[in-house]
Structure 1
Amino acid sequence: MRLHILGICGTFMGGVAALARELGDVVEGSDANVYPPMSTQLEALGISLKQDYRAEHLQPAPDLVVVGNAMVRGNPAVEYMLDRQLRYISGPQWLGEKLLADREVLAVAGTHGKTTTTSLLAHLLESAGLAPGFLVGGVPGNFGVSARLGQGRHFVIEADEYDTAFFDKRSKFVHYRPRIAILNNLEYDHADIFPDVAAIQRQFHHLVRTVPGNGRLIVNAHDAYLAEVLAMGCWTPVETFGIGQGDWRATLVEADGSVFTVHRGDELIGEVSWPLLGNHSVMNALAALAAAVAAGADPRVLLPAFATFESVKRRMEVVGEIGGVRVYDDFAHHPTAIAATLAGLRAKVGKARILVALEPRSNSMRLGAHAQALAPSLADADAVIFLHRPELPWDARHVTDALNGRGTTAASVDALIASLRDQAQAGDHVVFMSNGGFEGAPRRFVDALRP
């Protein structure tokens, strides 16, 4: 079968493309933003990529068009597809019907930590010899690809609450029908499609309704919004996790989260020592461990695998160190994630200076939905440069002014890099935060630091 994927270079749809190729389909696709690392990964698989969305890219007609959720009415390729009555399907529905129906699915849902937790869960199952398939919204360091079919019966999938497609406004995760589901956390996000937290909770409850009675729900013990979701009705055994509370409990040995002990009930499972930082990372670890055990793995056998976990690219990824300045690329794009990431780094580096370059890239950030919470989330930063492009519909100075002299704005990436270069000095930690390409800013900054 010949598939054409619209929006192929998004992290999710790129994974769909890789899986379809592994299943033996002929795969091609188009996107407005054909750039690494996804473009290089897809081209290495023999997938043909076309720049922009044009009617001629669907000529001759493919057997099936797989439509990404970034596609909208008015898009030339979408209009051509509809006018010519080409067969089409959403990416999540294609996955659910073509791939997941015959697998034991482990789904990782939550506002934060989905990509890291999905990658870690796949790594734990791999270390247990279960050879899982997976689809991750990033590139896991232990595997080097964002998706694979796997040899075992388990399939681990990042389960996003964003809507499925322009013709299907349900959350993506309702298509996956997991037997084991992690509910990592829940708070307000995606302001472009959800009016309030209650609307997101309803979607999470749709997911809960699909998990069978002989499955398992792994739920954050600290999260009141998730407790309210379960109170709407739950027909599946629940195991909770948390720091100091829950069925699965962590106790920090190191304040930065790099070493902690794990209890299941009153039973000590053992100690984890690993390269990740922050309480949020500890929570992700507990969730992945509990889910892997629910899938049949021995928890004590799994613990050594944490030490060899290589996090996803763009999750506090060190992209260079020049002249004593260490530079990180991070995907954090929500105040809670920003605060957690910086707190973990602060616990690690002590009094060293932390400089943050922030791009408001997500729909919620661009709309200003998180504006009031941004300044408090940057409390651990010594200096912040906020990328305030002219088209941003709200005034970023409301954020930088609240930082009491620690914040400035830049109208372009070039200006931002120049400002950072002037400020950075030996011993600094510079963190670029965006869930978009940031015009390659982290590596461009590393180049700018070279003598």
Structure 2
Amino acid sequence: MTIHFISIGGSVMHQLALALHHKGYTITGSDDEIFEPAKSNLAAAGLLPAQIGWFESNIHSGLDAVILGMHARADNPELLKAQALGIPVYSFPEYIFQESKTKQRIVVGGSHGKTTTTSMIMHVLQQSGLAFDYLVGAKLPGFSQSVQVTNAPIIVCEGDEYPASVVEKRPKFHFLFPHVAILTGIAWDHINVFPTFDFYLEQFSIFIQKIEPGGVLIYNQTDETLHALVQANLRSDIRFIPYGVPAHRIDNGATVVLWPGAETAIKVFGNHNLLNMEAARLACAEAGVSTAQFAAAIGSFTGASKRLEVLLQNEHTTVYRDFAHAPSKVKATIDAVKQQFPNRKLIALLELHTYSSLNADFMPHYKQALDAADEAAVYYSQHALAIKKMPPLDKQVVADGFAKPNLQVLNDAAALQQWMEKLQVKDASVLLMSSGTFEGINLLELFGGLMQLPTGNPAQ
């Protein structure tokens, strides 16, 4: 196969390009900007475009397919030429399906927990010695890349509800046609794409209808919205398996999960992670992994990047970094840390960085999300608003939305740093939540100093 990537520099696009290159395909690509680590990764494989930009000469009749990234516009000259020549043009998920038609397809959907659940399944399948391909939205320990496409009989995919491409605006997970589908929960997100909650819900109804006949839907029955949606979309040609939080106990800050005939201490915690784990166990069972095998493997799972990731730790303090940004994710993460360490003070900092989280009309959805924190601050930057071409966001609107007494609302980088530098972190859990960068502040250095950790070796 000879394939050209339009927008090869994307975080997931370049990973697919590398995967197909490793499979033996001839790969070319183009982009108008390529950043690290994609730039170095592509260069090491000999796939870095010689010139930055779009060039019609990249498109020719010798191509078997063109894969179109989200970054490309509808008037992209390479796209227009490919369409004129009649070359098949695929969005990322459409092409993943082309490569997985003969595989058992396991697809994890939902508003939250997709990456962690997908990661858990991948970890257990790997530990169990099963061959599989995958698509996941984070870098995972034990996996050199986030996309793998081989001749394996199984593929595990994180199923995103965001649009597939500028040409194909339907959600990505509508193109994967799972045999084993998971829905982790539903909470309105991406309001720039799904302006009403009903429209957002409809995408998950369509996903259920996309499950292959004879397949199975594994769904979180503790989510009332999801439970009602499933009941409204019952099908006689697939199985429905509900799940909830598995039996467990907490011993000295460590969670032990109790399954029939098997129990194991795990390195992650919180009801949201226990729900993710139960979904992963049920999906792995569909791939032939027993509960005993699952229990033996999941104990070494340390989590996906920026999902309650431990940045720093000593006997008095733990500093976590988490990707949480939507209201349901923020609340679940806050509650998990508080439940795991009930006798510690909980300090929470949330950076608003996404389109939804910076929208004044969306702010009331954050009500009570930070309530479990003993000290809390919300930060957003004027730069983030400008990049997204959004109007100014009043600090009082943010404070009213969260409705938490004594909440600090900050919108200046210097004020953010000053607030962090004054924190008393002894006997505390510190939770830093963002899909952004906290203005590039060196978190290891700042909190290492607050915790009085040895210089040069902060993560003790």
TM bucket normalised to smaller: 0.7 to 0.9
Pick closer, same or farther for the CA change 1:370–1:351 going to 2, 3 Å. Answer: farther
CA distance in 1, matches of 2:189, 2:361: 8
Q: How does 1:49-128 map to 2 (within 5 A)?
A: 54-56=53-55, 60-61=58-59, 63=63, 64-73=65-74, 78-79=76-77, 81-82=79-80, 85=84, 87=87, 88-97=89-98, 99-128=99-128
CA separation in 1, counterparts of 2:418 and 2:44?
Answer: 35
SS at match of 2:117: helix
- The farther-off stretch of 183-192 and 143-152 is 143-152
**Percent of paired sites with the same residue:** 25
Partner of 1:261: 258
Secondary structure of the structure 1 residue equivalent to 2:357: helix
C-alpha deviations, 1:379-418, integer Å up to 9, x for none? 1223333223223633243333632113231323x54233
1:306 is aligned to 298
Q: For structure 2, which runs of at least 5 residues remain unmatched after alignment?
A: 450-460
Contact 2:103 2:153 in 1 (8 A): yes
Indicate conservation of the 8 Å contact 1:222/1:242, yes or no: yes
1:383 paired residue number: 375
Change (3 A) 1:400 1:67: same
Deviation at 1:7, TM superposition (A): 6.2
**1:321–1:446 Cα contact (<8 Å) kept:** no
Residue of structure 1 equivalent to 2:194: 194
Structure 1 unpaired stretches of 5+ = 244-249, 263-267
- 1:328/1:374 CA distance change after superposition, 3 Å: same
CA distance in 2, matches of 1:7, 1:223: 37
- Asked whether the equivalents of residues 250 and 340 of structure 2 are also in contact (C-alpha less than 8 Å), the reply is no
Answer yes or no: is 1:239 the counterpart of 2:241. Answer: yes
Aligned residues of 1:14 and 1:42 also touching (Cα < 8 A): yes
Query: Deviations for 1:307-333, whole angstroms, at most 9, x for unmatched residues?
Result: 111211111112335896543221111
**1:363-442 → structure 2 map (5 Å cutoff):** 363-368=355-360, 370-390=362-382, 391=385, 393=391, 394-400=393-399, 402-412=403-413, 414-441=414-441
Residue in 1 aligned with 2:172?
Answer: 172
**Letter of the structure 2 residue corresponding to residue 55 of structure 1:** W
Contact 2:312/2:448 (CA < 8 Å) preserved in 1?
no
Measured in 1, the distance between the counterparts of 2:247 and 2:301 equals 20
- Equivalent-residue separation in structure 2 for 1:186 and 1:113 (angstroms): 10
Matched residue type, 1:289: R
- Counterpart Cα distance in 2 of 1:31 and 1:289: 42
Deviating beyond 6 angstroms after TM superposition, the runs of 4 or more aligned structure 1 residues are: none
Partner amino acid, structure 2, of 1:117: T
Give the aligned CA root-mean-square deviation in angstroms: 2.9
Q: 1:312 to 1:295 in 2, by over 3 A?
A: same
Indicate the residue corresponding to 2:346 in structure 1: 354
Partner SS state of residue 423, structure 1: coil
CA 1:24–1:396: 2 relative to 1, 3 Å: farther
The TM-score, its normalising length taken from structure 1, stands at: 0.85
Matched with 1:265 is none
Q: CA deviation at 1:22?
A: 2.4
Partner of 1:281: 273
Work out the CA distance in 2 between the residues paired with 1:47 and 1:271: 46
Aligned letter for 2:96?
Answer: L
Matched pairs, number: 429
Q: Does 1:204 align with 2:204?
A: yes
Tell me the amino acid that sits aligned with residue 351 of structure 1: N
> 2:168 & 2:187 partners in 1: Cα distance?
23
- Specify the alignment match of 1:246 in structure 2: none
- Where does residue 16 of structure 2 map in the other structure? 16
Question: After alignment, is 296-305 or 355-364 more displaced?
Answer: 355-364
Distance in 1, matches of 2:309 and 2:30, equals: 29
Q: Which amino acid aligns with 1:152?
A: A
Match in the other structure for 1:247: none
Q: CA deviation at 1:292?
A: 0.7
For the residues of structure 2 that align with 1:121 and 1:310, how far apart are their CA atoms? 13
Structure 1, 385-394 or 174-183: larger mean CA deviation: 385-394
Instruction: Using the TM superposition, give the Cα deviation of residue 281 of structure 1 relative to its aligned residue in structure 2, in angstroms.
Output: 0.3
| AA partner of residue 260 (structure 1) | V
2:456 alignment partner in structure 1: none
Find the aligned partners of 1:42 and 1:429 in 2 and give their Cα distance.
Answer: 39
Q: Aligned AA for 2:377? A: I
322 and 282 in structure 1: CA distance in 2 versus 1, 3 angstrom threshold: closer
Quick one: structure 1 residues 192 and 32, their matched pair in 2 at CA, closer, same or farther if it must change by over 3 Å? Answer: farther
Of the structure 1 ranges 284-293 and 136-145, higher mean CA displacement relative to structure 2 is found in: 136-145
CA distance in 1, matches of 2:175, 2:72: 19
Residue type of the partner of 2:396? R
Q: 1 CA distance for matches of 2:426 and 2:41? A: 35
d(CA) in 2 for partners of 1:240 and 1:257?
26
Asked whether the 8 Å contact 2:353–2:434 carries over to 1, the reply is yes
SS of equivalent to 1:373: helix
Work out the CA distance in 2 between the residues paired with 1:3 and 1:80: 10
CA distance in 1, matches of 2:294, 2:66: 40
TM-score (norm 2): 0.84
For the 8 Å contact 1:421–1:445, the answer to whether it is kept is: no
